[in-house]
Structure 1
C-alpha cells in the first residue's frame, strides 16, 4: 500500500453501492494526467461518509484531489499491450465547488 495524493478530473459519475452487512460505499474513476500528457485512470472506492457524499455531489469532469491507500496495477488491452492502472481507497477529498450567485 502507498499513501498517495492524486489530482485529476472525475471520469463519469460516482455510483453508490451496498456491500456485505448493508454497508454503503461509492465507486468512481478519476483521470489523472501524466508528465507526457497522457491520462491514467484511477479506480476509486470510498467508505468514509463525508467522502462518499462529496463524490456523489460531483458532476462528470469535476476537478478533485483525493488521498488514501493506492495500489498500482497492470492490465493488458485487447492488443496485448500492458497498461498501468491505479486503485485508490479514498480517505479524504478536496474539490472546488462553484459558488451560487444570489
Structure 2
C-alpha cells in the first residue's frame, strides 16, 4: 500500500452505503489530472467526518483526499489493459473546509491589534527632503 494525496474533481455524486455488518461507508470516483490526460481513482471512505464532508459535495466539485492507495490494472471488453487506482480515504480537504477554517479564525484575529500600514517617515528622513532635483545617472 502507498500513502497518497490526490486532488481532482468528483465524477458523479458520492454515494453512501451500508455494509452487511451495519457499518456505513461512502464511495465516489475522482478524476485526477495527469498531464494532458486524466486518470480515474475509485475512493472508499469509512471515517464519519470525512464521509459527511464528502457527501456534502456534488459532481464536478474539487476535492483533495489523503489515504492508502492501491495500484492495479483492469482490462476492458477489447482486451486493452488500463491502470486502476483505489484509495481508502482517511482525510479530505475542500474549498469549503478552507473557508470554514478562515471564518472560524476571524474572531480570534479581530481580538488582536491590527497592524497599521507603513507611513512615510517611520524609518528615517522623508525621501522628498533628499531630492535635489537633478536627474539620476545610470
Q: CA-atom RMSD, angstroms?
A: 1.3
Q: How does 1:74-93 map to 2 (within 5 A)?
A: 74-93=73-92
* Structure 1 stretches of 4+ moved >2 Å: none
Relative to its length, the structure with more helix (as a share) is 2
Equivalent pairs counted in the alignment come to 98
Relative to its length, the structure with more strand (as a share) is 1
Q: Which has the larger radius of gyration?
A: 2
For the residues of structure 2 that align with 1:42 and 1:50, how far apart are their CA atoms? 21
For the residues of structure 1 that align with 2:11 and 2:82, how far apart are their CA atoms? 18
The TM-score normalised by the length of structure 1 is 0.91
The TM-score normalised by the length of structure 2 is 0.68
Residue by residue, what CA displacement relative to the aligned partner does 1:44-63 show, whole Å, maximum 9, x if unpaired?
A: 00000011001100010000
Residue by residue, what CA displacement relative to the aligned partner does 1:50-80 show, whole Å, maximum 9, x if unpaired?
A: 1100110001000010000000110111221
**Which structure has more RCO (C-alpha within 8 Å, separation ≥ 6)?**
1
For the residues of structure 2 that align with 1:20 and 1:49, how far apart are their CA atoms? 17
For the residues of structure 1 that align with 2:22 and 2:78, how far apart are their CA atoms? 39
Please state how far the C-alpha of 1:24 moved relative to its aligned partner.
0.4
Structure 1, unmatched stretches of 5+, are none
Structure 2, unmatched stretches of 5+, are 100-138
Q: How does 1:12-51 map to 2 (within 5 A)?
A: 12-35=12-35, 37-51=36-50
Residue by residue, what CA displacement relative to the aligned partner does 1:4-37 show, whole Å, maximum 9, x if unpaired?
A: 00000000000000013210000000000112x1
